[in-house]
Amino acid sequence: MLAGQISDPVHRLLRAVVLALCPLVHGCVDVHGGAVELSWKLRAATGSQETFLNCGFDLAPGGTAAVSRQGISELDLRHEIIPQGRRLHLQTHFGLTNQTATQSTRNQQVTWKGALQLDRELNDFVRVFGGWSREEASPSTSTGRWVPAGGSVLTVAPEVETRTGGQLGMTFETRTRRLRGTIGAFHESVSGQEYRDWSWESSHSLPFSSPRNGEIRMPFSTSVARDFVREGWTGSLSFNPLRSLTTSASWSVDWKDQGPYRGGNRRATALVRYDVQEGRLKHLFVSGAIHFRNDLLFDDGFVLRGGWRTDAILGYWLRIRSREIQLRLNVSNLADRSWQLTRFAPDHGRQVILSVSQEF
């Protein structure tokens, strides 16, 4: 069979759904306030190096695991309804994904996702919204585990992660449009989440073979987290008292603080920017930011330090021969605090960066 051809039952089902929905797509043109967006993606199981899941690794002198390849077919449907008066806004989303892989304990996996979002305008300045979603996903990453099968080994397929949840909230703005904001609450149940097992990695420097089933597990590998819940609230505000002055703030709090890692569940950012609109300093701008994140504790005891961090930017832009050139001086971590973005990014303290960008 040529690369890119589809013949298995799931592919035939997806193709049938697409053909069946084509009349509905065209039929929605005549429905007032309705629209359907349909997209179809097919990534062949052969021919593209970008579909590689795992490269070979040495099991023993002279022994190498087979390479696993993955093909993904996706169906994505979106429907939007805005009745007359435009006070009510309904959006639906449905997706279907078929994943195939070679040299794996699971050669095929079908997952789906669906979402429903409803907005209601109470007046010209206040809108309430609510939504529900459910999503299944099979990560395209190596678990770092293999099992013997006859004369070869198969990579252990990752678990299917399922997320089910909803959100409720409201958005508002003042009559002058200078103050705008959003506030909402969220709840999400998570099961089957694969995570990098730092605790295993710290205690196993060499590949490990299980005497129970012969599974081979590398130091860099994943485990499946227990089911957990995310729940909390989030919000944002923007205030523009002048054309030249803009301010904004956003925050998120997960008060459950569950999952394989703990912490990192409280975050906030505040930004302010001033643009000089006239005079000799026209096109000069100054910007500042404050970021906050609480400490993040990994399963092996490593702590990713959080706290407050401040940044500043001084910039100037000009036009030369109708092309815009921007000069920027960035000073990050002004207070020189111990603050780390990720576990892999070492803390360099205060940094000063000068950059020049040109529009083409």
Verify that 354 and 218 share a domain, yes or no. no
Q: What pLDDT is stored for residue 84 in this prediction?
A: 66
Q: Which residue is it, tokens 């860099």? A: 220
- What are the CA-CA distances from residue 333 to residues 312, 318, 346, 352 (Å)? 8, 28, 13, 9
Does one domain contain both 217 and 231?
no
DSSP string, 272-336: EEEE--SSTTTTEEEEEEEEEE--EE-TTS-EE--EEEEEEEEEEEEEETTEEEEEEEEEESTT-
What's residue 70's pLDDT? Answer: 61
Q: Residue 265: which residues within 8 A CB-CB, separation 6 or more?
A: 232, 253, 254, 255, 256, 257, 294
Q: Does 258 lie in the same domain as 165?
A: no
Same domain? For 130 and 232 the reply is: no
Please measure the distance between the N-terminal and C-terminal CA atoms of the chain and give it in whole angstroms.
45
Are 166 and 237 found together in one domain?
no
* pLDDT (0 to 100) of residue 258: 93
Number of domains in the chain: 2
Report the half-sphere exposure of 225 (CA within 13 A, side-chain side): 21
pLDDT at res. 153: 86
Q: Which two structure tokens, joined as six digits, stand for 258?
A: 């569950």
Does the pTM of the predicted model rise above 0.75?
A: no
Cβ proximity of 302 and 296 under 8 Å: no
Rounded-to-integer distance, Cα 342 and Cα 296, Å: 10
84-139 residue pLDDT tens: 667 889 999 999 999 888 888 888 889 999 999 999 999 989 999 999 999 998 88
Check if the beta carbon of residue 143 is closer than 8 Å to that of residue 135.
no
The stretches of the chain forming alpha helices (DSSP H) are 9-27, 198-203
pLDDT digits (tens, 9 = 90+) for 15-48: 444 343 443 333 333 333 444 444 444 443 333 3
Q: How many whole angstroms separate alpha carbon 39 and alpha carbon 75?
A: 6
Per-residue CA distances from 343 to 75, 183, 254, 295, 297 (Å): 36, 30, 21, 12, 11
Q: Supply the pLDDT for residue 191.
A: 95
Task: Let me know: does 134 contact 113? Beta carbons within 8 Å.
Answer: yes
Q: Residue 83's closest CA among 39, 143, 32?
A: 32
Give the C-alpha separation, 287 to 329, whole Å. Answer: 10
Query: Is 273 in the same domain as 244?
Result: yes
Indicate whether 152 and 271 sit together in one domain. no
Q: How many whole angstroms separate alpha carbon 292 and alpha carbon 16?
A: 50
Do 275 and 151 reside in the same domain of the chain?
no
Could you tell me if 220 and 231 lie in one domain?
no
Domain of 314, in residue numbers: 227-360
Same domain, 213 and 300: no
Q: What is the pLDDT of residue 116?
A: 95
Q: Could you tell me if residue 321 is left (phi over 0), alpha (psi between -120 and 50 degrees) or otherwise beta?
A: left
Cβ atoms within 10 Å, residue 138: 21
Show the low-confidence residues of the chain (pLDDT under 70): 1-70, 84-85, 346-347, 360
Neighbour-count burial for 196-225, b at 16+ CB within 10 Å, e otherwise: bbbebbeeeeebeeeeeeeebbbeebbbbb
- Together in a domain, 175 and 308: no
62 and 81 together in one domain: yes
Pairing between strand 296-297 and 63-64?
Answer: unpaired
